[in-house]
Amino acid sequence: MYGFRIVDKLQKLDQDIQRNQLNYHKKRVLVSKEFTFDAAHHLHCYEGKCKNLHGHTYRVVFGLSGFTDDRGLMIDFGDIKQIWKDKIEIYLDHRYLNETLPLMNTTAENMVVWIYEKMADALREEPQYKGARVEFVRLFETPTSYAEARREWMEDE
């Protein structure tokens, strides 16, 4: 009725598909992963609601590009999550950002560049991600408002 069927025979490596067939191409590809965190901050030299201590549920979207390995993987989504947890989120989630980030006004515009730099540094530190790079980071401060850092802006300016 819905086109569902049980697979008759599970494909087996080195029998039905050869290892040299696992990577379909040699092109650069982009993968994306999103995370959320909750944090408090306030802004300096700003006349508006954000001058007072307040919080947000932020959403971060990473766009990472690179070349696939012999298995056809550029980077495992679990590895992106581990980098996020170990190198970035520890400074952000349920934190007072004015205290845990480098000295800066904790605007979305400043924070997105810091997040971009942390992810770019982490990718450079790992030899298995050779050629991987951050293409963009979007930091949503609200569901409809975000700041973005792009590779071409970060590297050329």
Question: Which positions are annotated as active-site residues?
Answer: 50, 94, 141
**How many residues appear in the chain?**
157
For residue 17, how far is the Cα from the chain centroid? 32
- 80, burial (CB in 10 Å: exposed 0-12, middle 13-18, buried 19+): buried
Least Cα distance to 113 among 157, 49, 55 occurs for 157
Other beta carbons within 10 angstroms of residue 151's beta carbon come to 16
CB 57 within 8 A of CB 140: no
Report residue 130 CA to chain centroid gap.
Answer: 17
In the structure, how many helices (H) and strands (E) does the chain have? 4, 5
